Amino acid sequence: MAKQIYYEDVEVGSEVTALKKIATTRMLVQYAGASGDFNPLHYEEDFAKNLGVGKPIVHGLLKRAWLVNLMTDWIGQDGKLKKLSCRYRGMDYPRKMKGFDEPHDGETWWCKGKVTKKFIDNESHLVECEIWVENSKGEKNTTGGAVAVLPSRAK
Amino acid sequence: MAAFVVTDGLKQLIGQKEPAIVFKVEEGAIQRYASAVGDSNPMHNDVEYASQSRWGRVMAPPGFTGWPMAAGFDIFKLFEKLAKAGAPMGLLDGGIEYDFLVPVGAGDVLVAEIKIANIEGRETKMGPTMVTTLESTYTNQRGAVVLVARNTFLNF
């Protein structure tokens, strides 16, 4: 794990340490099982076609979980995530599988973020961030925000 | 194109509460979730590490709780109810908003209270779209509200 970040280490404009992700059809099945979301939209071609999204899409909730992961990795064990929100603005498609555990080439996403505000409230050291998931074309199909408490060196 | 017009039948569903659901947060479920979303934080995966932490047990990643189906809620029944009241058949997840209040960990027993907080008509790139906000509040075995989640669904 990365070393602990402190409130004093960040400024408005500081970047949240980017996190790289891929999605495969196998991962979507795994996510369906782990989350209890068995919407056929994420694994059945015809169903997805009929809904007008072309082919099975990555769960919005999986992209949301990536953004949670982005924030919790960055704020470390002593940070605390207070709020997170995101909106799904476009479709993302998983890689297909070449072997049992080997994906084909395909899309890679980067989860990124930037500090938009830092402030102290009721002795809590808070940072507000804008966060997003970006594809290889630079499109931000999932965008959102987060608020977290960071530990302070002052204490 | 125009905004979706919310029918009276749909308006009547606003504020309606679903029966509360009680469920236990299981260690294995946390581990499977963390693994599925690619979160390698040992607080979620490593029982030994977690038991020696200040929490003393495996803790759930934020967002492990908050999606109604993860609490065992049959969301498709709710979608059917909306469809009967006039919701368009196309359905996509629009987004989510969380307030994380108290960390959730293995062994917690949570009560999920889910209600339709709002239904409104909008115009989106899919055409006339109905936007439904589902609000879920989770309370733990000590009576503390641990999480509030607002899910947005798009019917078009």
Is residue A49 situated within a structural domain? no
pLDDT tens-digit profile of B97-143?
A: 999 999 999 999 999 999 999 999 999 888 999 999 999 999 999 99
pLDDT score, position B84:
95
Q: Domain extents for chain B?
A: 8-26+71-155
Q: Which residues in chain A show pLDDT less than 70?
A: 1-2, 155
pLDDT score, position A72:
98
pLDDT score, position A144:
98
Domain B8-26+71-155 fold is Thiol Ester Dehydrase; Chain A (3.10.129)
Per the CB < 8 Å rule, is B37 touching A81? no
What domain range is A106 assigned to? 7-22+58-149
pLDDT score, position B76:
87
pLDDT score, position B71:
87
- Which of A51, A52, A85 lies closest to B98 in CB terms? A85
Cβ contacts below 8 Å, chain A against chain B, sum to: 99
Lookup: tokens for B39: 């979160």
Q: Give the amino acid at A21.
A: K
pLDDT tens-digit profile of B63-108?
A: 999 988 888 899 989 999 999 999 999 888 999 999 999 999 999 9
pLDDT score, position A37:
87
Query: Nearest CA of chain B to the CA of A8: how many Å?
Result: 23
Q: Which residue in chain B is spatially nearest to A74 when comparing CA positions?
A: B41
pLDDT score, position A100:
93
Q: Based on the structure, what is the number of domains in chain A?
A: 1
Is residue A120 situated within a structural domain? yes
Query: How far apart are alpha carbons B91 and B70 in whole angstroms?
Result: 19
Per the CB < 8 Å rule, is B39 touching A69? yes
Report chain B residues touching chain A, CB-CB < 8 A: 29, 32-33, 35-39, 41-43, 53, 61-63, 67, 69-70, 72, 90-100, 103, 126, 152
Q: Where residue A98 sits, what CATH number does that domain have?
A: 3.10.129.10
Q: Helix or strand or coil: residue B20?
A: coil
Per the CB < 8 Å rule, is B67 touching A37? yes
Query: How far apart are alpha carbons A9 and B43 in whole angstroms?
Result: 24
Query: Model-level pTM greater than 0.90?
Result: yes
ipTM of the complex: 0.95
Per the CB < 8 Å rule, is A35 touching B36? yes
Per the CB < 8 Å rule, is A66 touching B38? yes
pLDDT band at B1 (very low <50, low <70, confident <90, very high): low
Query: How far apart are alpha carbons B11 and A79 in whole angstroms?
Result: 41
pLDDT tens-digit profile of A91-136?
A: 999 999 999 999 999 999 999 999 999 999 999 999 999 999 999 9
